[in-house]
Every structure is written in structure tokens, then in C-alpha cells.
Structure 1
Amino acid sequence: MEENSKRIVIVGGGLVGALCAYYFGKRGYRIDLYEYREDIRRSKSPRGRSINLSLSNRGRLALRDVGLEEEVLKSAVPMVGRRVHFQNGKVQSILYDEFTNQCIYSVGRNFLNKFLLTAIESLPNVLLHFDCKLIDVNLKTDELTFYRCSSQDYLRVTGDLIIGADGAFSCLRRSLQSTPLFDCSQTYIDHGYIELRISPEQSHLMKPNHLHIWPRGSMMLIALPNIDKSWTVTLFMPLSEFDRLVYKEMVLEFFKQVFPDVIPLIGTDQLVNDVIRTKPSVLVSIKCSKLHYRDKFLIVGDAAHAIVPFYGQGMNAGFEDCTVLNNLLDKYSEDFGRVLEEFTRLRVSDAHAIADLAMYNYLEMRDLVTRPSYYLKKWFDKQMHRVVEDKWQPLYYSVTFTHTKYEVCLQQRDWQSKVLKRSLLLFGIVALSFSALTFINIT
């Protein structure tokens, strides 16, 4: 690692900010990472949301590039497919990859964040600053102002490059929105979520190495495995439905009607307590028209493209930001101006595409997966992929197990849908014609 005199300031010590700091640190830059919360490794209670993360090929590549993949996978649980629990009691497994037998990995958010922060500390040119909340961005002087709650004072810093990885409600992004031609849309969906838990003692009731899904039309419940044999359960449904679950009787009646087989998995008392005491979290999607300003400011991860969690690609897309950024630094000999412009050109269209795909996958997981047409399409995808592997990749496969641009994945889905509709129409015409000819011959 060669020492570099340039200073990089990274705002946000979450997953993407931490990995980004490690990437730049490995390149020899002087890194200052600022996080507004306390050090998660020294916190007595977990912070923020803890939805388990699905680590797939894009995220794995980012970790592999800096030599961290192997250690992360040691604390992750492989998932080979979905385990669908229908309302009639039927259960069915659907493999993620029937072609090359690849899998995705369930990994705990807090574990991964702690791991990345510890990895950063091994680099002598990286400094971590906790309890520092960004409160002002001066785009004229390139100066950031942080407030340190513990000492109740202010810290003013600048750098050769300032990267915002400070989440969906990014302070840095809000400042960039005041610059010319920087458009940003924020869309909430009317669904929220709460987290529940299946204890290790009940794990024998769950088929291992699967993501379990209970699809119910307008709502769904999912369960992801943890390394300690417990399962993290997440209930997604309209916020209006959560508003109804205020008493024990209401909660039990709801689960008896909608998710009856979940009650013994979690336990009646634990289920009621967790549902009543937990306020549902909201889900938001962020789309930006630019991801940089001049050669000085850049946003990545959720700050640049927050998406709903239904494709398991939020973290993977953020980690892929780091891969793309690192490759561009190599390509343009660390010319920040050219790197940032090209980063925006490459990632904006992909960010918009995966945001749309994530919304589509929620519909698929909670509703379409219960319909015969879903399995017909799966069968058609499978046959076409076997016949013309290079030209036909199922959508989930291309998003999860390849590094195809998200934008191209979306375009392929639209093209494949047209082919499927035309094929079914042609099949119907042929079948009708054959029936007609048979009838004529008989008569």
C-alpha cells in the first residue's frame, strides 16, 4: 500500500461507508470517517433496524476485491432457495439457481457493520470519528460542520474528496439538491414492517438453508436464518393493518386467520408482545438524477439510491458502488473529476432500475408466487435458458448471480415478457387450429 497525500472524508459509518473507507484506505489515501452514532462495537444494545441482509454475487465481489469475503462468509448462512408457505398449508421449495447451483447468504447487519469497522481500524491511514453528526455543508468552501454530542462542540473539516454514505435521509444529499440540475425524488410506500424472531429451540421446525416466505396477497412474512440457529422474521403489510393490531385478542385473531403456522414457531406470548410493542418502520425509495457535484462531492449507497428491501439488493448495490468507484479510479488514474462524472453516468440508470425491480419483486413475493402463471413463467425461463443460455437469463438469476448492469436486467425482463406473451399467443393459435382441424376431420 503506497501512501497518498490526498485526504478523503467519508460521512457515514454504516455498511457502505465502512467498505468505501476500506477501499480508499487500501489505496493509500488518508481517510477520516465520521459517524453520528456511537461505535456499534461498544454499544450495549443493537442500533437501528436489523433486517437480515442477503449477500449475493455483487456484494461478494466487492468484499473479495479487498480480501474480506472469506471471513464474512464464515459467519453467514447459505440459502439455496425460497420455501413458500401457502395459506392452504401447502409448502413448496423453489431453488434460486437451478442451472449452476449458486446460493445467496443470510448475514446479520450488525455483525457485518462491526466486522467492517474492525477491518478499517487495521489500516494506519484511516481514522474513525464517532458521535459526529453532520449539520452543515458549505458547497462554496467545501467545508463540513459536525456537532459532537458528547463534548457539545463543533468540528469543521474538509478534504480532497467528500463522500456521503449517510443513508436514505442523507444530510449531504440534501445539500447537493440545491445545486443546478440535481433532481431527487422520494417515494414512500404505504407498507411498513416489524421484526420478530424464531428462537434456536424452534429451528428444527424450519427447513434450513432457505428463505421462508408466507405470501398473502397484500402482505407477506419472511424468515431468514442466523448463524446461531435462530431466524429473523419480518412482517410486511399495509400500515393500516398494523394500526388494527393494538390488543392481544386482535393480534392472535389476525395470525390465526393469516399466518396460523407461525404462532407455534414464535410462541403466543412472544408474538403478542413483539407485535404490540413494536412500531412499524416505513419504507422509502430515493432516486437522484446526479450522484456528484464538481470534483469534490459524491454520494453512494442509500444516500444515492435507497430502495425497498424486496430484492435483497440494497446492500449489494451499495457495495457494487465501491467496486465501480475503485475500477474508475484505476481507469482514470485517480482523476476525481473524470471519475465522479463517469460514476454518475454509470450508476444513475442502474440505481433507477434496481429501485423499480425491488418494487416489482415485492408484488411477486407477496402475491404472484401464489399464482399458476408464476410457475408457468419459471418453467418457460428454465427451458429457454437451457436452449439459448447466453441470450436468455431469468431475471432473478441475472440480478443476483451475475454482474450484468441492473439497467440491462430490467430491459431483458421487458423483452422476455414480450417473448413469453407472443409465445403463449402462438401456442394458443396452434392449439386452436389443431383442435379445429381435428374437429373437421372427425365430422
Structure 2
Amino acid sequence: MSVILTETNGSNERRKVAIVGAGLVGSLAALYFARNGNHVDLYEYRDDVRKSELVQGRSINLALSQRGRKALSQIGLGLEEQVLSTAIPMKGRMLHNIQGKTSEVIYDPSFKQCLYSVGRKQLNELLLNACDKFPNIKCHFDHKLTKANVKEGQLEFKRSHSVEGIKANADLIVGCDGAFSALRQNLIKLPGFNYTQEYIETGYLELCIPAKKNEFQMPPNYLHIWPRDNFMMIALPNQDKSFTVTLSMPFDIFASIKNPEELIQFFTHYYPDALPLIGKEQLIKDFFKTKPQHLLSIKCRPYHYENKALLLGDAAHAMVPYYGQGMNAGMEDVTLLNSLLQQLPLEEALAQFTEQRWQDAFAICDLAMYNYLEMRDLTKRWSFRCRKMLDTLLYRWFPTIWVPLYNSVSFTSMPYSKCIANRKWQDQLLWRTFLGFVVGGLGVTGSAIYWQRFR
């Protein structure tokens, strides 16, 4: 996604800003820039999402949490209220074991905070409709970025039914064009730009649990998880009473299922309660319709080039989707950027954005990797549940001191790197307390034995 914006830079001067990518982060950034008086050109290589259908297999549901809500709220257009009016609250995880029995793990038993399941297409449409209300935002669909000269602020786009390229200029180019960012490919060529990417050995495939008699087939106010050690399945509720189901497995397991009979046998063994909900015919159709998709994690820095270019969202920090923070982190990028632009000249603001954001971006990429392990395996272990209960108890007693890791990530705006540091401090305290009890217990036991023997 590309958006062109105008920024004041601490004066009455307005800038022309080009934003590449009209997805969630790009359209939100366009709104912030336009509200501050800038001229914004928003470029998207696809057609207008409001006039098209979602691509099958790539519509993983979104879990809106505090960071995303804050970004929607601060724009001041009633967007948060509109989103929450149709979003489905999820108060916790519902775990499905291999026998089909379920158990609840509530996110926040103390203060009842929850995540909200929102549709990607619906939210994108809402943001684009808001963009249409600003005369200083111009949206350009079917514009694929082919060339970018960030030093000169020059862009060239290609349309699907046109041979000639379309040229544009901008004072600031903002890349919100996702994990395979075309703008980032141009920045990689510049000296001092660091970039790493990691594909995980797990792919994902999207399935569906349809509504039955216009009702949910499972309790709707949960993130449903089927943990199976080295693979898993999750389901999020939709507004039409269906569930979007995401099957995540190593590619070699996907490849081992070659025909409908093997697929039904696999689900009968590992997901016996989900099979009748999905339906055998629908499962076979959806499973073999598309290939499993790849997942990758991307880290890079800096996110800016002088006062000419900037990366936001997945273009700056793509992550695997298992913490539900991809959208939320991208939206938080926009709120941080806006705050800095209100205080500093443009070049200083962009430099500070990189300085303040990269450690947190790296942290949430790592946390997303960890949460996949937690969801597929650790949630089944008694040690995990005991720690969860202890965290909940301490959080209830000391809410300002003891904030569990998941709560700090999902229900606060605590920097992601501080969330990890906070967890390490908690682990160290609990370990020292445990050792203290062990040493104290040994001391008491030794004293008792000594007294019994030598009294």
C-alpha cells in the first residue's frame, strides 16, 4: 500500500505524501496525515476491496486489542465505536482436546478484558469510506509500484490494462505495502539498511465452520484452539455466525494427506469434534482447493530514509499471526508516528520513530513465534495452567505491579520490549521465591531431624 501525505513539519508548510498500500495500516495512516492538513495520495495495487471478494485462503481473521483500539480512537472519527458495534468479543481461549472435550482459559478473569474478532474486509472498507470523506485524500486503485527513487521522491506505477507507466512525485513516501513491500526492496539497496527474513516450516490453510440454522455451532465468545503438539487448528467467530478456521501444520504433514480418504481419517483422529461441524464434503472441497500458504517473520532497520521515505506495518515488521498483533502493531506504528510529528520536524520525527520502534518491533516478532509454541503445545500442560492461575491471582492482588505477559501485550500499550523484560523479572522473582521455600523447607526439616536425634 502506498499513501502520499503532506506534513506540517512544525510550520504552516504542507507536504505531499505518497502512501503505497491501501490496506488497514495504509488507510489509517492516510487518515492521520490528512487530518493534520496534508495532501495524501493513497496507492493500492489491487482493485478497491469494497468492490471485490476476499481471496480464498488469505483472509485470516483479525483480533483487535488495545493497541489497535487506541489507534482507531485517537483518529477522532468514531471509528472505534463503529468497529466494536459489530465486533464479536472473545473473553478467552476454548481448548479442544483430542477426545473432543473442551476447557476454558479466560484471558482476564480479574478485569474482564477481551479481544474482538473483526473481519479484515469489513474494517478495511470502513477505513476507506472514512478516507473518501477527506477532500485531501485521493485513492488510486490498480496502481502497482514498479519503480521508486526515494532520494528524488519519484514513483512509477503500472495499471493492469495499461502499457504506459504512471509517474508521481511526493515529499514523503510511506510504504504500507505488506511483508513483500515493493518500497522496502528499494530501501534495501541503500547503505546501512539491515534486513532479515525467516520462513517457518509451518504452513496454514483456511477452512470454515458454517452457521447452522443461522446460529453458531460453537460458543462464539472464544478463540477456539485444537492444540496437537507440533500442529494445531484455531477458529474465530464471524458476524454471519460462521467460524473462520485456520489449520496450521508443518508442510510435510500437509503433503502426506494426498486424497479425501486420508483427509477424513486424519480429522477423525485429531479433530473428531470439528469434523461434523465443518462437514466432510466442505472439508474436502476447502482442503484441496488451495495449497497451504507460507508464513514468514521479517525484521529490518532503519524504517526511514532521511525525510524522504518510511516503512510502517508489515513492510517494517512482518510477523507470524499467532499473537494476533500484526494489525495492532501496525496501527500502533501510526499512533507513535503521529505523536512524534506533532512534536518534531519531519526528519527528526522519522529518525525518532526508528529509534523508538525497532526494539519493540523485533520483540513482538519474537513473541509471535513463541505464542505459536504456546498455542499448539504448552496450553495442554499442567505447568502452563498453574502459571496462568498464579499470574491471575497476583494480577488481581497487585494489578499495577504484576501484569501477566499476555495481558501486557494485548490489553495495555506497554512497549513490547518492556513486556518481555517484565516477564523476565516475574520469572526471576518466582524462581527466587521457590528457591527460598526449598532452602527454608530443607532448613526446617534439618533442624527437626537434628532436634529429634540429639535432644
Indicate the TM-score class for this superposition, using the shorter chain for normalisation. over 0.9
The answer on whether the counterparts of 2:89 and 2:117 sit within 8 Å (CA) in structure 1 is yes
Structure 1 vs Structure 2 CA RMSD: 1.9
The answer on whether the counterparts of 1:246 and 1:276 sit within 8 Å (CA) in structure 2 is no
2:122 is the alignment partner of 1:115: no
Deviation for aligned residue 1:388: 3.1
Deviations 1:224-272 (A, max 9, x none): 0111111111011111111112201110111111111110110011112
Query: 2:408 corresponds to which residue?
Result: 398
Segment drifting more, 294-303 vs 42-51: 42-51
2:398 & 2:308 partners in 1: Cα distance?
45
SS, match of residue 148 in structure 2? strand
Deviation for aligned residue 1:386: 3.3
Query: 2:103 corresponds to which residue?
Result: 92
TM-score (norm 1): 0.95
1:204 & 1:301 partners in 2: Cα distance?
33
2:291 pairs with one of 247, 261, 279: 279
Segment drifting more, 415-424 vs 233-242: 415-424
Instruction: List aligned pairs for 1:253-402, cutoff 5 A.
Output: 253-332=265-344, 335-402=345-412
2:57 & 2:217 partners in 1: Cα distance?
29
Distance 1:4 1:231, change over 3 A: farther
1:434 & 1:52 partners in 2: Cα distance?
55
2:56 & 2:42 partners in 1: Cα distance?
18
1:137 & 1:391 partners in 2: Cα distance?
48
1:197 & 1:345 partners in 2: Cα distance?
42
2:198 is the alignment partner of 1:187: yes
SS, match of residue 70 in structure 2? helix
Deviation for aligned residue 1:387: 3.7
Query: 2:69 corresponds to which residue?
Result: 60
TM-score (norm 2): 0.93
The answer on whether the counterparts of 1:53 and 1:109 sit within 8 Å (CA) in structure 2 is yes
Query: 1:139 corresponds to which residue?
Result: 150
Deviation for aligned residue 1:404: 0.4
Give aligned-pair identity as a percent. Answer: 48
Distance 1:371 1:350, change over 3 A: same
The answer on whether the counterparts of 1:4 and 1:28 sit within 8 Å (CA) in structure 2 is no
The answer on whether the counterparts of 2:57 and 2:290 sit within 8 Å (CA) in structure 1 is no
The answer on whether the counterparts of 2:157 and 2:165 sit within 8 Å (CA) in structure 1 is yes
The answer on whether the counterparts of 1:209 and 1:225 sit within 8 Å (CA) in structure 2 is yes
Deviation for aligned residue 1:392: 1.6
The answer on whether the counterparts of 2:153 and 2:172 sit within 8 Å (CA) in structure 1 is no
- Count residues in correspondence: 441
1:101 pairs with one of 112, 134, 138: 112
1:430 & 1:106 partners in 2: Cα distance?
48
The answer on whether the counterparts of 1:80 and 1:97 sit within 8 Å (CA) in structure 2 is yes
2:222 pairs with one of 210, 219, 229: 210
1:269 & 1:435 partners in 2: Cα distance?
64
1:198 & 1:317 partners in 2: Cα distance?
28
Identify unmatched segments of 5+ residues in structure 1.
Answer: none
The answer on whether the counterparts of 1:245 and 1:275 sit within 8 Å (CA) in structure 2 is no
1:368 & 1:411 partners in 2: Cα distance?
21
Query: 1:153 corresponds to which residue?
Result: 164
Deviation for aligned residue 1:157: 1.2
Distance 1:204 1:112, change over 3 A: closer
* Matched AA of 2:306: R
Segment drifting more, 43-52 vs 296-305: 43-52
